[in-house]
Amino acid sequence: MAKLQTDFASRFDSLSEKLHAYDARISHLEEKEKENTLLKAQVADLQNQLNQQAQYTLNSELEIIGLPETPSENPYHMVLTAASKLGMVLEEEDVNYASRAGPPRRSGDKSNTQPRPLVVSFVRRAKREEFLKNARTRRSSLTSKDVVPAEPEKKMYVNERLTSDSRHLFRDTRAWVKEHGYKYCWTRGGKIYVRKHEGGDGSPAIQIRSNGDLHNLSGKPAG
C-alpha cells in the first residue's frame, strides 16, 4: 500500500506539473490572441485613416458613367455639354482636367464593352457640388444622347469619385441594403450612408465605415 501511495503521489505530482504547464501555454496563447486582435484592430484603423486621406484628395472630382467612347472625343467639350444639359453654366476654366479613367480598351476585346468613366476635376468645390446636385435631380431624364447624340443611347450617371477601397465597400453596402430591406444607400463627401426608411419617420442616416459596420447592423459578429 505504501508503494502504491508513493507511485500515486508521484504520478499525481507529474500530472499536476503537466497541467500547470498546459495552463501556462494556454494563458500565453490567449495573450497572443489578444495581441493579434489588438494589432488587427490597429491595422484596420490605419487602413481606414489612409483611405480617408486618399478620399480627401478625390473630393474635387466626379465621374460620369455611360458616355460612349469615340477616338476623336473631346472630354472637356463633353463635360461642358453635360453641364449645359443639366441647366448650369460651366466654363472651361472651371474644369481642372477631364479624362477617361483607366487604360484604353483593347481593340477587339469583347470581354468588357462598357465605356470607361469620364473623370472630371473641378477648380472650385461649389461648381462640383452644383454639377452633382443637378445631375441627381435630373437622373431619370439624363441619357448619353444629350451629350453624344451620334452614338447609341445609354443611361448616364454622375457619381462621386471614390477610392478603390471605398468603391468596394459601396458595392458591398448596396448588396447588403437589398438583402436587409433598407431603402436608401448613397455617398456624400466620399462617405457611405444607409437609411432604412424615409428620413421623416425618424429613420436615421447611418454611416458605413467598414464591412464590420454592416455585420453589426445585421446583428452578426464582425468577421
CATH of domain 59-160: 3.30.70.1820
Domain boundaries, the chain: 1-57, 59-160, 164-217
pLDDT tier at 40, thresholds 50, 70, 90: confident
46-84 confidence digits (pLDDT tens):
888 888 888 888 989 999 999 999 888 999 999 999 999
* pLDDT above 50 (res 221): no
Among residues 44, 27, 51, 6, the alpha carbon closest in space to that of 162 is found at 51
Q: How far apart are CA 182 and CA 151, in angstroms?
A: 36
Give the angle 62-64-70 at the CA atoms, nearest 5°: 135
pLDDT of residue 203: 79
Determine phi and psi for 149, rounding to 5 degrees: -65, -25
Question: Mean pLDDT of all residues in the chain?
Answer: 86
Region 120-139 average pLDDT: 92
> Could you tell me if 76 and 98 are in contact, meaning their C-beta atoms sit under 8 angstroms apart?
yes
pLDDT of residue 159: 93
pLDDT tier at 200, thresholds 50, 70, 90: low
Q: How far apart are CA 136 and CA 49, in angstroms?
A: 29
Residue of higher predicted confidence among 166 and 106: 166
Instruction: Enter the DSSP assignment of 198.
Output: -
